Amino acid sequence: MSWLLDFPPELLEDILEWVILGETPAPASIADAAMTRSPESVFSTDSQCKVFTQHGNVVSNTASLLRTNRLVAGRVGQAGLALKLDVLFVHERELWTTWVHVPYLSQCFNRIQVNLRIANAHVVGPALKVANDVVGRQITVETLDINISALEGVTLAPEDVRNEWLDSRRNVGGATEGMDDASLWLFGLAMRPEWLADILRQGYGLEYMLRMGEPYYGAILHERVGVLSVYVEDQLYQHYDVGQSFADLLKPLGSGRNKYYTYYYFNQFPWGERPQRFAKWWHAAFITRVQHGLSVGSASEADTPWPDGHVQGRV
């Protein structure tokens, strides 16, 4: 293997480009993606949403090379290579995932780029929530990028009918009976990428999670992600400094019983248990972020909340 590193730098870069940086093409259509799916690939049986993964396990085709030669592995690591995941948003309720680039295997990644593509229009009420038991907490990501676009050839709703388009989705169970012609027309159009970006951000989306309104998913973001950026067709839409958001969890929300996130947002536990639960989780998450090189914003070890729910330090 040592002879590989003796090649001229420009040739070596080309070889690494072909062998390590080569990508698997993302599915060009739903039919293309369906060829790599099966009923057994359903990742969640949640009634709201299903995640269809690829057949078999995803294994880096360069894992053996990187394990064989530390210098090559070092060059790959220095390049800050990104993992790339293609996600088709099918029928506004299914996520079909395809790994198109897995240059190395690790539990700590510099960057993961997610290309979320709208594949078609509505079938049954849109939802993005995935069952709690299918979300892993084993890896950390310094930078998570989500780029939202539409699959080529998809007919998108016009920009000026957003409210009417949303109204067409509010039918219970997605039933089309009784719809007028205008509503039926809208029902057959796919959402625009910027609308999906708004859904991810607002309501019960990312900002709600970062405020710990959904403690389970909010905890994963605060434990495992450094910064998160959402793009719409490659244009930056929203950037989140998750480390500073984690530090801000210690800021008072107001006065009275709901003064801290401890009480107001850690609501999956009985009232009397929330201070201790929050303190234990926050301290463990702080250590996890520091150990994996993730920013903790303006927080420090001295800011760790006490078990009684009050906060020590600058709050």
What is the residue-wise DSSP string for 165-188?
HHHHT-SGGG--TT--HHHHHHHT
The mean pLDDT value for 170-197 works out to 74
**CB of 303 closer than 8 Å to CB of 315:** yes
Strands, E assignment, 185-251 = 225-232, 235-241
The mean pLDDT value for 101-125 works out to 79
Q: Higher-confidence residue: 195 or 93?
A: 195
Which H/E stretch holds residue 74?
Answer: helix 70-78
The mean of the pLDDT values for the chain is 75
State the Cα–Cα distance between residues 223 and 141, nearest whole angstrom: 10
What 3-state class would DSSP assign to 101? strand
State the Cα–Cα distance between residues 121 and 136, nearest whole angstrom: 29
Q: State the pTM of this model.
A: 0.79
pLDDT value for 234:
95
Q: Does the structure show a pLDDT above 60 at 13? A: yes
Q: Does the structure show a pLDDT above 90 at 312? A: no
Q: Smallest Cα–Cα separation from 69: which of 77, 59, 80, 57?
A: 77
The mean pLDDT value for 36-62 works out to 62
pLDDT value for 189:
87
Strands, E assignment, the chain = 50-52, 82-90, 94-101, 108-118, 140-150, 225-232, 235-241
pLDDT value for 49:
67
- Percent with pLDDT over 90 in the chain: 23
pLDDT value for 133:
41
Given the structure tokens 């360069």, which residue do they identify? 62
Q: Smallest Cα–Cα separation from 138: which of 224, 225, 216, 77?
A: 224
The mean pLDDT value for 102-124 works out to 81
Task: Give backbone dihedrals phi and psi of 65, rounded to 5 degrees, phi first.
Answer: -60, -45
Q: Does the structure show a pLDDT above 90 at 237? A: yes
